Structure 1
Amino acid sequence: MSGYGGTPPGWQDPYGGQNPYGGQGWSGTPYSGGQPPGYPYGYGPPGVPVRPTSNASTTACLVCNIASVLLCCGILGIPGAIVSAIAMGRVQSDPESARKLTIAGWVLFGLSILCGIVIGIIYIIVLVNADSGYDSGSGV
């Protein structure tokens, strides 16, 4: 006997056909107890599926902060990389803290890029307005 409508061969009912939570037996008859039937011992109601935590944003934040330190000389990229590395360590144990640290890392990355742009603009302005320091050859 397999499928619906029968017991597997050799199966022994641990409750002797009686519902351990009161009411009528497990034979398929309608329940007539005061409370809804429970679940057999060792089993509970189906739970809400848990979404596995992901550290993709944290990894991207760490890589971007390291790149900002190396490429843009962004001094704020160093604390951003440190904060992102700490967040990577907390993704599995404390996801809420890891999320906040990742946001802080992205903010530091943005500030680092903004500072790099401002420094670049200032550098270009200084180069354009700099005195060449030599005479163009007019003999006067």
Structure 2
Amino acid sequence: MNDPMTPANAPELVVTRVDSPDEEAAFVTLSSGAAEVVAFCHPCELVVGSRIPNRLWPLDVDVLQAAYLDDWPEEERAAPSVERLEHHGHARYSGVGQVIDAAHGRVLVRGFVIEFGEALADVRHVEFDVTRLDCAV
């Protein structure tokens, strides 16, 4: 049996593209091996092929809520708990992820660890909508 994913054992992210590589800040495309996201990086000295820790932070969280309610029957929880990550426009994302550390607000979605920075209710999956994802090196 595999150990549960945590920020400590999450695979590193790989930089696959850097927009405006000559600027101090840039939007970078990161791959988790399962999906790609565009994240803001400042200061940014990343180049294609760089590996960074698997930790992203959202800017302006518009939605962060349980994907289903506690009183829902188990068979009705399956559909809203399906992991998804949708890209809207340049940097906006919405999706559903698995809570891997409720005390620190950490969610795993499509191989990415997103740290919401606030304790999450005792739920297994959350739905979210964020203006932007940021990475730090």
| Alignment TM-score > 0.5, same fold | no
Larger helix fraction of residues: 1
Higher RCO, 1 vs 2 (CA within 8 Å, ≥6 residues apart): 2
Q: Which bracket does the TM-score occupy, shorter chain normalised?
A: under 0.3
Larger strand fraction of residues: 2
Under a length normalisation based on structure 2, what TM-score does the superposition of the two structures give? 0.19
